[in-house]
Amino acid sequence: MSQFWKPGAEKPRLLDDEEGGVVFLSSSLSSASSIGYGYASIEKQRQRLPVYKYRTAILYLVETHATTIIVGETGSGKTTQIPQYLKEAGWADGGRVIACTQPRRLAVQAVASRVAEEMGVKVGEEVGYTIRFEDFTNKDLTAIKFLTDGVLLREMMDDPLLTKYSVIMVDEAHERSISTDILLGLLKKIQRCRSDLRLIISSATIEAKSMSAFFHARKGRRGLEGVELVPRLEPAILSVEGRGFNVQIHYVEEPVSDYVQAAVSTVLLIHDKEPPGDILVFLTGQDDIDATIQLLTEEARTSKKNSSGLIILPLYSGLSRAEQEQVFSPTPRGKRKVVISTNIAETSLTLEGIVYVVDSGFSKQRFYNPISDIENLVVAPISKASARQRAGRAGRVRPGKCYRLYTEEYFVKEIPAEGIPEMQRSNLVSCVIQLKALGIDNILGFDWPASPPPEAMIRALEVLYSLGVLDDDAKLTSPTGFQVAEIPLEPMISKMILSSNELGCSEEIITISAVLSIQSIWVSGRGAQKELDEAKLRFAAAEGDHVTFLNIYKGFLQSCKSSHWCHKNFINYHAMKKVIEIREQLRRIAQRIGIVMKSCESDMQVVRKAVTAGFFANACYSEAYSQSGMYKTVRGSQEVYIHPSSVLFRVNPKWVIYHSLVSTDRQYMRNVISIDPSWLLEVAPHFYQQHRLNPIH
Ligand code: CDP
Ligand code: MG
């Protein structure tokens, strides 16, 4: 294994070297208090963060500028400290609230609990958080609120000027998620009506100048000549100097064919050869993370080298609270923590104690092709900017090392300098409906930080029109359009819920919607594939995955929501509890918009029709006598296949509808249901007149 690395390929770069001044910060208050430190010790920890030196400057800039752009290395204290400084300076007085947005839900939860700990309060009181389907805030008490950018957008539907907030900090702006971009465009508009509102745009790496230019460019509005306006409209830019340590970069000599295996070997190599220090491995998603953990656990057990002492933990969205806490809790003496993460640990979360980073060079990214109207999640190469961020995570507490599972030549020549904003590589159906619901009619003329491709916009308008959400003038229809916009799910799911009302199967469709809005209800894991498949067979319905979900839900209720039952059936207990919670909230929302709860009992035909009414655009057919399992999309004649995780894998009914696509060697349909093609004309005549339905006839 040792020849795996190019010896001496050390690149002293990235961050300032501060050898000698190594300080090991305790990573959480609970650990500090358990060994008898009091409040002062947290104060000390806070004061050691790089951002502390800038406290006065930040408060001054926020006071005097409408927008302040703050750039600072990950871990410098932006997210956890700035909202507290603002509160201490009185920005939450008089019942006002300081908001801090994050693109990721897990980051919202983790940061809120950290800040609550630092302030010695309970989450949900002075410090609260809101993510979709989870609200831990208190109307009277919450002064600092962490939330996803998507939730803040939704709040605008009820309160377009976001009047309860005094300061809104749009954090992780460099990630350029769709919601962040929409939010930036809308906040710029709000600023014109609210001179009391302050914005902070913060991130680890941002083209501060272009962001500043975006906020400064105002169509047709200028301050009076020679008059100093307060707040000043020109954004202030503040750069927080980090104090990371030097990180040596190592590349593989030859390209690796299996990054899961390569990651496992590298972790074991580090553990065998390198001094203590935790390891952070960047992979792409729950599936390869679980696979890596399984393999690493096995190899660590069988390896002759000393591989005891490894604590192996996953980090991805959808982890339970307890699992999250393990990741953030300090590593016991004599042990080495290995955290296997998605790119959430790239800039959103800081883990103390990381000295070694293993970077697969990939992440899961959304890609959308407006021509074929296909969007899928693809494991794709990261950008150079991301690779640098990942490496930087190794230099947090002392000089570290980063092992890149790709060659130096690949890094230099092949991967792009920056990522593409999500807005420019996504299906825009949800984005368009949200803007419409907020009364933004001229979507193409909207002031975007990065303009979306017009073809994607047109596709989105077309789909919304055929869903009956938009009318001929591209305005929201009443009531359908407004109802669809009201449900915090993708418009196709919302439409499916509305149709279930007419079809008399709202109980079933709400269950299905809840299941579709979480990642997976199965316990994944290589090795036990056979048992998992057998468990699936117990619930499998001939109609497809959606009906299978109903069987599982029924079984879970009959077991009295037993964790033992879940365990026995390879079902993720935590995910099922989440399904119950989401379902309850969806039921409330549905009833609010006038949907009557009704069960169709065993009539699965109406359930399939309701799914078709929402997802008709995802219809596919298999050619007669096709043995290959190949399907074609009705819309664009694209080749797609049923994902092996589907209960319809190898069953191959002639006509199906899928919920989403994932792309690996092929385009795979996930969550598939069989349909009768005549329903397509019934539920979406307009759509299918335009797109010939030859195979039906
Ligand atoms: O936002 P930024 O990346 O600048 O830093 P931060 O998230 O505010 O983190 C500041 C410090 O708080 C770091 O030293 C983290 O290790 C610590 N922190 C933590 O221990 N646990 C968390 N859940 C979040 C932050
Ligand atoms: Mg942060």
Q: What is the DSSP string of 187-203?
A: HHHHHHH-TT-EEEEEE
Ligand 1 first shell, C-beta below 6 A: 25, 27-28, 49, 72, 74-81, 110-111, 114, 328, 350, 352
| Residue 218 reports pLDDT greater than 90 | no
Residue with CA nearest ligand 1 atom 21: 114
Mutate which of 33, 350, 354 for ligand 1 pocket (most atoms within 8 A of beta carbon): 350
| Residue 24 reports pLDDT greater than 50 | no
Q: Which one of the ligands is nearest to 175 CA?
A: 2
Per-state percent for the chain, helix, strand, coil, to nearest 5: 45, 20, 40
Over pLDDT 70: what percentage of the chain? Answer: 90
| Residue 23 reports pLDDT greater than 50 | no
Return the pLDDT at 220. 46
CA–centroid distance, residue 589 to ligand 2 (Å) = 32
DSSP 27: S
Domains of the chain from N-terminus onward: 14-240 (3.40.50.300), 247-423 (3.40.50.300), 487-683 (no CATH)
| Residue 208 reports pLDDT greater than 80 | no
For the segment 674-685, the average pLDDT, to the nearest whole number, is 92
- Cβ(457)–Cβ(443) under 8 Å? yes
Mutate which of 114, 127, 172, 352 for ligand 1 pocket (most atoms within 8 A of beta carbon): 114
Alpha-carbon span 309 to 327, nearest angstrom: 15
CA–centroid distance, residue 109 to ligand 2 (Å) = 12
Strand, helix or coil at 340?
strand
206: confidence class by pLDDT, cuts 50, 70, 90:
low
| Residue 75 reports pLDDT greater than 60 | yes
Return the pLDDT at 4. 43
Q: Which one of the ligands is nearest to 393 CA?
A: 1
Residue with CA nearest ligand 1 atom 18: 350
| Residue 29 reports pLDDT greater than 70 | no
* Cα separation values, 461 from 430, 452, 465, 497, Å: 10, 13, 6, 20
| Residue 63 reports pLDDT greater than 60 | yes
CA–centroid distance, residue 422 to ligand 2 (Å) = 19
- Give pLDDT tens digits for 471-510: 999 999 999 999 999 999 999 999 999 999 999 999 999 9
Q: Which one of the ligands is nearest to 49 CA?
A: 1
Residue with CA nearest ligand 1 atom 13: 75
- Give pLDDT tens digits for 579-596: 999 999 999 999 999 999
CA–centroid distance, residue 291 to ligand 2 (Å) = 28
For the segment 556-579, the average pLDDT, to the nearest whole number, is 94
Alpha-carbon span 432 to 469, nearest angstrom: 11
CA–centroid distance, residue 202 to ligand 1 (Å) = 14
Ligand 1: which atom is nearest the Cα of residue 74?
A: 3
Please give the model's pTM, rounded to 2 decimal places: 0.88
Q: Which one of the ligands is nearest to 51 CA?
A: 1
Highest mean pLDDT among 122-131, 330-339, 655-664: 122-131
Residue with CA nearest ligand 1 atom 19: 27
| Residue 561 reports pLDDT greater than 80 | yes
Q: Which one of the ligands is nearest to 81 CA?
A: 1
CA–centroid distance, residue 240 to ligand 2 (Å) = 13
For the segment 381-386, the average pLDDT, to the nearest whole number, is 94
Q: Which one of the ligands is nearest to 118 CA?
A: 1
13: confidence class by pLDDT, cuts 50, 70, 90:
very low
Ligand 1: which atom is nearest the Cα of residue 45?
A: 14
Residue with CA nearest ligand 1 atom 14: 75
Ligand 1: which atom is nearest the Cα of residue 110?
A: 23
| Residue 696 reports pLDDT greater than 90 | no
Lowest mean pLDDT among 114-123, 320-329, 632-641, 650-659: 320-329
Alpha-carbon span 506 to 597, nearest angstrom: 5
Return the pLDDT at 375. 83
Residues with CB under 5 A from ligand 2 (ion): 79
Strand, helix or coil at 621?
strand
CB-count burial class (<10 Å; 0-12, 13-18, 19+) for 125: middle
CA–centroid distance, residue 475 to ligand 1 (Å) = 44
| Residue 226 reports pLDDT greater than 70 | no
Ligand 1: which atom is nearest the Cα of residue 347?
A: 3
482-489 contacts at long range (C-beta below 8 A, 24 or more positions apart): 482/437, 483/593, 483/594, 484/433, 485/157, 485/433, 485/434, 485/436, 485/437, 486/157, 486/589, 486/592, 486/593, 487/586, 487/589, 487/590, 487/593, 488/132, 488/133, 488/154, 488/589, 489/513, 489/517, 489/586
CA–centroid distance, residue 170 to ligand 1 (Å) = 16
Strand, helix or coil at 633?
strand
For the question of an ipTM over 0.95, the answer is: yes
More reliable by pLDDT, 315 or 6:
315
CA 243 to chain centre: 28
For the segment 146-172, the average pLDDT, to the nearest whole number, is 96
484 phi/psi in degrees, rounded to 5: -60, -40
| Residue 20 reports pLDDT greater than 60 | no
More reliable by pLDDT, 84 or 446:
84
- Give pLDDT tens digits for 359-377: 999 999 989 988 877 888 8
Alpha-carbon span 621 to 504, nearest angstrom: 27
Kind and range of the H or E element at 168? strand 165-170
Mean pLDDT over the full length of the chain: 87
- Give pLDDT tens digits for 113-132: 999 999 999 999 999 999 99
End-to-end CA distance of the chain: 60
Lowest mean pLDDT among 202-216, 385-399, 648-662: 202-216
Ligand 1: which atom is nearest the Cα of residue 171?
A: 1
